[in-house]
Amino acid sequence: MNVFDGCDGQRLEMTNGGTAVFVDVLMLAVSALAHRPWDFRFAALLTLQDQNVMGRGVVGFGLAELDWGDTPQERAAAKDFLLRVLDLALSRHRWEELTYEPPRAEGYLRTYRAMVEEFDPATARAGTGVLPKPREAAVASCVRHRVLDALPFWQACVFCTAGV
């Protein structure tokens, strides 16, 4: 079971297939919206949730483990970005390009959005190292799938590693 933690014991637990869908639809959205360094670091974190590379049932992270920024403005901008990514994913951005119908994706996204909305980034535990470092940010794009890929970790996007 893959787990994404919120605050006060909130958890989004997903099967391996559910997690793959969740990451796919988030990558479509994050790739469209990323423009600041934190955004590309978060995109890199999403690429590290690719079970085709990392292994089945071993991915996930907690919101409290992320480095949201040093100032209230940085933390607010990071949270706003993540909420906009979730909203874009909920609008079914580019879902018509998927090779499958993601029946549970909307429910996962709504649950996770509520968790992010409720989370206070000022309560995060700094220094956990979950969010990739600035030099590890996902800034390269997969030409075939038009999403950010996993460089510098490996040379593929989540769709390439799935064989799509």
At 8, the pLDDT band (50, 70, 90 cuts) reads: confident
What is the structure's pLDDT at 103? Answer: 85
Range of the domain at 19: 2-161
Q: Tell which residue, 38, 25, 35, has the closest CA to residue 131.
A: 38
For 134-159, b/e burial (b = at least 16 CB within 10 A) is: eebbbeeebeebebbbbbebeebbbb
Summarised one tens digit per residue, pLDDT across range 12-61 is 999 999 999 999 999 999 999 999 999 999 999 999 998 777 778 778 89
In terms of average pLDDT, the best of 3-7, 57-61, 74-78 is 74-78
The number of domains in the chain is 1
Q: Is 53 within 8 Å of 161 (Cβ atoms)?
A: yes
What is the structure's pLDDT at 46? Answer: 95
User: In this structure, what is the dihedral angle of CA atoms 118, 119, 123, 129, given to the nearest 10 degrees?
Assistant: 170
Q: Is 51 within 8 Å of 19 (Cβ atoms)?
A: yes
35: CB partners within 8 A, 6+ apart = none
What is the structure's pLDDT at 125? Answer: 83
Interatomic CA distance for residues 2 and 147, integer angstroms: 23
For 89, the token pair is: 């994913």
Using CB atoms within 10 A of its CB, is residue 22 exposed (0-12), middle (13-18) or buried (19+)? buried
User: In this structure, what is the dihedral angle of CA atoms 37, 87, 13, 161, given to the nearest 10 degrees?
Assistant: -60
Give just the sign of the alpha carbon dihedral 144, 150, 155, 158: negative
Q: Is 148 within 8 Å of 47 (Cβ atoms)?
A: yes
What is the structure's pLDDT at 58? Answer: 76
Summarised one tens digit per residue, pLDDT across range 80-132 is 999 999 999 999 999 999 999 998 999 999 999 999 999 999 999 876 778 99
- Residue 52 has a CB neighbour count (10 Å cut-off) of 14
Entry pTM: 0.93
What is the structure's pLDDT at 36? Answer: 97
